[in-house]
Amino acid sequence: MARVSERVEPFPARVAAPFHEALSRLWRALSGMLSLLVVLALWEAFAREGAVSSFLLPAFSVVVERVFQDAASGELFFNLGPTLYRTLVGFVIAGSAGVVIGILMARNAVIRWFFDPIVSIGFPMPKIAFLPIFMLWFGLYDFSKISMVVFNAIFPVITAAMAATEGVERELLWSAQSLGASRRRLLWEIVLPAALPQIFTGLQVALPVAMIVTIVTEMLMGGPGLGGAMITASRFADSPGVFAGIVEIAIAGLILVKGMAILRRRLLLWHQETKEPTTV
């Protein structure tokens, strides 16, 4: 009688592959945050050692506890809502207007003649210096703060959109024109898809700018918002509250930036930058 040999089947490849991929993603995430974890650990150790007063530098654990207290009381969301509203509304307006102006500047000589000096002077200028003027003209409410965000965030978008449109390969345009494509079809089917990656780069630059300007305007104008809450905490010598505001702003900014990166990958699935390398 033939002897039947039994052997244990290896772990199925269809199960092992996702498992290894999940481990690889976890490792990449942890390794990318390693420097941040080291800084936070040093912060905690330095504050616990008592090298400086807890008023000047509260321990990171104390700051985290304060963040959770703000979240439990609802104060965090009361301040986070207006900050995100001003940031996102200003960013959307600046992004939409900046893309339109940048593309028109690249494709129309008259519009470029009009806007080019404004962009050349306005882009490198520290535009936050206009804040007192905006306060005088528009008051201390949301319209003034959002206008300031738009004024600061629009220039990187204009520059990126103009450069991206000018960088579209002429051979593509000539080929489409030779096939009878209209100017509108040329814009929507050739120019915009080719320029979209660089336009998104400009938008990714403009989003943190919008967040920074929102916080600064809230600090100087007051009212609800993360910036205003930090200034209020400093006036009452609430050191954990000030540092908690810094942590809350950092987390909100990180979420916005990561969300923008995810949106870029989703909308540019067709582009080479989103594809995994085929070689090891």
What confidence score (pLDDT) does residue 252 get?
A: 92
Give a yes or no: residue 218 inside a domain. yes
pLDDT value, residue 140 = 82
Q: Is residue 96 part of a domain?
A: yes
Structure confidence at residue 9 (pLDDT): 47
Q: Residue 249 is part of a domain; what is its CATH number?
A: 1.10.3720.10
Q: How many other C-beta atoms are found inside a 10 Å radius of the C-beta of residue 249?
A: 20
29: which 2 tokens? 């995430």
Is residue 27, in this structure, part of any structural domain at all? Answer: no
In a domain, residue 145? The reply is yes
Residue 250, in any domain of the structure = yes
Give the C-alpha separation, 190 to 183, whole Å: 10
First and final C-alpha spacing in the chain: 49
The alpha carbon of residue 16 and the mean position of all alpha carbons in its chain are separated, in whole angstroms, by 35
Tell me the helix, strand and coil percentages in the chain, rounded to 5: 80, 0, 20
**Which H or E element spans position 64?**
helix 60-73
Structural domain for 113, as ranges:
73-268
What is the reported pLDDT for 93?
A: 96
Question: Do the domain assignments include residue 32?
Answer: no
Question: CA 99, CA 165: separation in Å to the nearest integer?
Answer: 10
Spell out the per-residue pLDDT of the chain, length 280, in tens.
445 444 544 545 555 556 666 677 767 766 667 888 888 888 888 888 877 888 888 888 899 999 999 999 989 999 999 999 999 999 999 999 999 999 999 888 899 999 999 999 988 888 888 999 999 898 888 899 999 999 999 999 999 999 988 887 666 666 666 666 666 766 676 777 778 888 999 999 999 999 999 999 999 888 888 999 999 998 888 899 999 999 999 999 999 999 998 888 888 776 666 554 444 3
Query: Considering the domain boundaries, does residue 9 fall inside one?
Result: no
Nearest to 137 by CA among 228, 206, 221: 221
Total domain count, the chain = 1
- Alpha-carbon gap, residue 73 to 67, rounded angstroms: 10
- Would you say residue 277 lies in a domain? no
Give SS3 for 53.
coil
User: In the prediction, which pLDDT does 16 show?
Assistant: 56
Both tokens of residue 220?
């100087």
Q: What is the pLDDT of residue 139?
A: 84
